[in-house]
């Protein structure tokens, strides 16, 4: 069983007046098959956690450890982390002009699997996944995210998730900017992956609405760069009723 272990993680970014600490000692364990929701207001450090684990160069890890199956993730390059089984769905997916969705997906699958998937099987696999996400097959020949709506970009992220089959998936505000229909389609895609029991999911969100579709096993409240409280799905209900006022974010940094 794959396990992502984050221990006493401290992360800083460069600011005008020097390094500014954002994460102040995060401890979290996500096992294959589990779904963890990280909730918190803007500026609490949720997205910083996602991008630090994924290897974004903007963030400097000053202390702490991150391991996947006992292997030091922080010693790996970004592509090595992906091949090890980490997946990040970004809040704002980027456009990749000149690269078609179909080429992007097959190249990614080849890198992850160590060999190119057989073309006939792969085409069927992609077509089936797109149908389940209600994506027009024509999107396969369009450039990655170029001219896509917000919902189309997020569906493309989940298409990658379904096809690449990572060990640990970090979904950074996947619900951001989605209408009700897109939210349902994206959530159904995440749930299909969860039902395999082969992926551990770290779902980062401000709001509880996506948790009506994706039921977490654990909920963590982020505040001021660390986890302030953890519990079961009932903690999300508490946040829905009471908000984040009980969790001070004074001194918090960037999201």
DSSP one-letter string for the chain:
--EEEEEEEEEEEEETTEEEEEEEEEEEEEETT-EEEEE--TTSSHHHHHHHHHT-TT-EEEEEEEEETTEEGGGS-HHHHHHHTEEEE-SSPPPEEEEEHHHHHHHHHHHHHSSPPPHHHHHHHHHHHHHHTT--GGGGGSEETTT--HHHHHHHHHHHHHHH--SEEEEESTTTT--HHHHHHHHHHHHHHHHTT--EEEEEES-SGGGGTS--SEEEEEETTEEEEEESTHHHHHHHHHTTTTS--TT----
Residue 249 falls inside a structural domain: no
- pLDDT at residue 249, as a whole number: 43
In a domain, 250, yes or no: no
Mean pLDDT taken over the chain: 91
| pLDDT attached to residue 254 | 46
Instruction: Identify whether 77 is part of a domain.
Output: yes
Residue 255: inside a domain: no
pLDDT digits (tens, 9 = 90+) for 166-215: 999 999 999 888 889 999 999 999 999 999 989 999 999 988 889 999 99
pTM of the predicted model, to two decimals?
0.91
Answer yes or no: is pLDDT of 246 > 90: no
Indicate the number of domains in the chain: 1
Within-domain flag for 233: yes
Q: Does some domain include residue 109?
A: yes
pLDDT digits (tens, 9 = 90+) for 56-71: 999 999 999 999 999 9
Which CATH number does the domain housing residue 187 bear? 3.40.50.300
Establish if 31 belongs to a structural domain.
Answer: yes
Check residue 250 and give its pLDDT.
Answer: 44
User: Does residue 117 form part of some domain?
Assistant: yes
Instruction: Look up the domain containing 229 and give its range.
Output: 3-242
- Give 153 or 248, the one with higher predicted confidence: 153
Per-residue pLDDT tens digits for 5-32:
999 999 999 888 888 999 999 999 999 9
């Amino acid at each position: 069983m794959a396990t992502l272990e984050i221990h006493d993680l401290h992360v800083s970014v460069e600011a005008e007046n020097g390094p500014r600490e954002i994460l102040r000692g995060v401890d979290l364990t996500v096992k294959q098959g589990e779904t963890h929701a990280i909730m918190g207001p803007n500026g609490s450090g949720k997205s910083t956690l996602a991008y630090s684990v994924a290897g974004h160069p903007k963030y400097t890890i000053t202390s702490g450890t991150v391991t996947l199956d006992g292997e030091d993730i922080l010693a790996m390059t970004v592509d090595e982390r992906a091949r090890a089984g980490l997946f990040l769905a970004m809040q704002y997916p980027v456009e990749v002009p000149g690269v078609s969705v179909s080429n992007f997906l097959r190249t990614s699958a080849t890198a992850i699997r160590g060999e190119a998937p057989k073309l006939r099987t792969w085409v069927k696999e992609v077509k089936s996944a797109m149908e389940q996400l209600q994506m027009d097959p024509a999107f396969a020949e369009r450039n990655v995210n170029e001219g896509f709506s917000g919902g189309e970009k997020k569906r493309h992220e989940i298409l990658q998730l379904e096809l690449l089959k990572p060990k640990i998936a970090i979904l950074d505000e996947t619900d951001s900017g989605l209408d009700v229909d897109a939210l349902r389609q994206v959530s159904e895609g995440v749930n299909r992956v969860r039902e395999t029991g082969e992926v551990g999911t770290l779902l980062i969100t401000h709001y509880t609405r996506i948790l009506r579709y994706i039921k977490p096993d654990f909920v963590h409240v982020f505040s001021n760069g660390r986890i302030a409280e953890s519990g079961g799905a009932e903690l999300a209900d508490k946040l829905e009723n009471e908000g984040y006022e009980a969790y001070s974010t004074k001194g918090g940094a960037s999201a």
